[in-house]
Amino acid sequence: MAQASGKSAGKSFFGKFGVHIAVLIFVVIWTIPTLGILVSSLRDKDQIIASGWWNSFSSSTQTEAGRLPGPEAQVEKDGRFVIEGNIFGDGPARTISAFGVRSATPTQFQAGQAADLGDGVTLQLNPDGTFVLSSPVAIEGRGQRVYYASSAPPRFTTENYETVLFSEGIGRSFINSLTVTVPATIIPIMIAAFAAYALAWMRFPGRALIIATIIGLLVVPLQMTLIPLLQLYNGVALFFGVPSKTYLGIWLAHTGFGLPFAIYLLRSYMAGLPKELMESARIDGASDFEIFLKIVLPLSFPVLASFAIFQFLWVWNDLLVAIVFLGSGSDQLVLTGKLNALLGSRGGDWEILTTSAFVTIIVPLIVFFSLQRYFVRGLLAGSVKGG
């Protein structure tokens, strides 16, 4: 006893707090990128391109290009033709540090310096963006191209969220996602719960083969099954004369994709429940259905809640299966598809991308924190009291 006590008292710092330190490290690793996405979603789109999110609270510097007004804006002053104005126009004010008239040397001249452009033509671009282009003869052709390095104070805005949340069709796509996700989460849980109980506590021919098949299906890539599954579904729809792109089709598809993991997870949990509970219930005359409904199901709330979270997240964030089995029409497009359409063909709108990421996680977060109550309740329900 004294020896054991000495070992416990002499446990190292890492032995006592190692798990907590590891969890803290993983939390930080996951939190930093999430914080970066949040900050980027609130930044001005030009500043997102100019600097990383970690520089969002300091002035950002970038090289830009602009064109001065054309000959129609010139006036004659003291025998010279002059064009004056502000290169920023009605845009946000910035501070210019240097400028140039060639893309190869965009910072050739310091701001405020009168640059000689040849043939007596001069250009002065001041730090506040005001400029004076002066020429001894009438200015002709297009406006002068100017390159400049400017710095701007940090600017945060909610315009990105307004663009995403109030774009046309976003409400409909949100409803479409809910219509797909809720049944596609409930249906596999209901089927898998019955199947898991049967595979864990009932004895019948072929049981081991079914378990082996389910484990084998876990490693089959989803993409390999899309074409044969779609052909089968279209053939059935054609045989019965019903439309192929329906909510029923995508519910069945997500159910089929989610069942192997659901059955494997639930069976592993149910097989570990106390055998004495089942035997006592059978002695009292309870049927398998009653045992499942009154004993196994209440004790399985933790694993049911866990799978519900996994399945909801998978279906809610899905785009591929939704497009294949539901379509990409305006009345069928899910939220991920609509947000993807907002990015355009090149996907370079980082402000839309980061904002969309936070819009899509709102509902999963609500589901996650809501199911925490049932998770804890299931743990408490699984405790066995001695009488």
Is the entire prediction scored with pTM above 0.85? no
Domain boundary among 58, 74, 89: 58
Q: Is residue 3 part of a domain?
A: no
Residue 364 has pLDDT above 60, yes or no: yes
Task: Judge if 143 and 238 occupy the same domain.
Answer: no
CA distance 295 to 289: 10
Q: Given this model, what pLDDT does residue 344 score?
A: 63
Task: Tell which residue, 118, 115, 109, 111, has the closest CA to residue 96.
Answer: 111
Name the pLDDT band for 14 (thresholds 50, 70, 90): low
Task: Judge if 199 and 223 occupy the same domain.
Answer: yes
Q: Given this model, what pLDDT does residue 380 score?
A: 46
CA distance 294 to 273: 14
Q: Given this model, what pLDDT does residue 83 score?
A: 92
Answer for the pair 351, 56: CB distance below 8 angstroms, yes or no: no
CA distance 114 to 119: 14
Answer for the pair 311, 258: CB distance below 8 angstroms, yes or no: yes
Task: Judge if 110 and 218 occupy the same domain.
Answer: no
Residue 323: count of CB within 10 angstroms of its CB: 17
Domain boundary among 96, 129, 153: 153
Residue 385 has pLDDT above 70, yes or no: no
**Strands 145-152 vs 95-100: parallel, antiparallel or unpaired:** antiparallel
Task: Judge if 120 and 236 occupy the same domain.
Answer: no
| Token representation of residue 310 | 């996994």
What is the DSSP secondary structure assignment for residue 10, as one 8-state letter?
Answer: T
Task: Tell which residue, 143, 172, 97, 135, has the closest CA to residue 338.
Answer: 172
Answer for the pair 139, 82: CB distance below 8 angstroms, yes or no: no
Q: Is residue 112 part of a domain?
A: yes
Residue position matching structure tokens 């600017």: 155
Q: Is residue 7 part of a domain?
A: no
Task: Judge if 261 and 335 occupy the same domain.
Answer: yes
Task: Judge if 332 and 356 occupy the same domain.
Answer: yes
Task: Judge if 108 and 198 occupy the same domain.
Answer: no
Q: Given this model, what pLDDT does residue 383 score?
A: 42
Tens digit of pLDDT for each residue in 371-382?
Answer: 777 655 544 444
Name the pLDDT band for 348 (thresholds 50, 70, 90): low
Task: Judge if 214 and 329 occupy the same domain.
Answer: yes
Task: Tell which residue, 251, 72, 85, 83, has the closest CA to residue 176.
Answer: 251
Tens digit of pLDDT for each residue in 102-129?
Answer: 888 888 999 999 999 988 999 999 999 9
Q: Given this model, what pLDDT does residue 199 score?
A: 93
Task: Judge if 252 and 279 occupy the same domain.
Answer: yes
Average pLDDT, the chain: 84
Tens digit of pLDDT for each residue in 151-165?
Answer: 888 888 888 898 888
Task: Judge if 281 and 183 occupy the same domain.
Answer: yes
End-to-end CA distance of the chain: 31
* Pick from 106-110, 175-179, 195-199, 356-360: least confident: 356-360
* Pick from 170-184, 202-216, 239-253: least confident: 239-253
Q: How many domains does the chain have?
A: 3
Question: What burial class does residue 209 get, using C-beta atoms within 10 Å of its C-beta: 0-12 exposed, 13-18 middle, 19+ buried?
Answer: exposed
Task: Return the half-sphere exposure (C-beta side, CA atoms, 13 A cut-off) of residue 384.
Answer: 7
Domain of residue 342, residue span: 161-381
Task: Return the half-sphere exposure (C-beta side, CA atoms, 13 A cut-off) of residue 350.
Answer: 17
Task: Judge if 145 and 85 occupy the same domain.
Answer: yes
Provide DSSP, 219-254: TS-HHHHHHHHHHHHHHHHHHHT--SSSHHHHHHHH
Q: Is residue 10 part of a domain?
A: no
Higher pLDDT, 2 or 348: 348
Domain boundary among 153, 178, 196: 153
Tell me the sheet residues that pair with 108: none
Higher pLDDT, 55 or 199: 199
The whole-number average pLDDT for the span 137-141 is 88
Name the pLDDT band for 192 (thresholds 50, 70, 90): very high
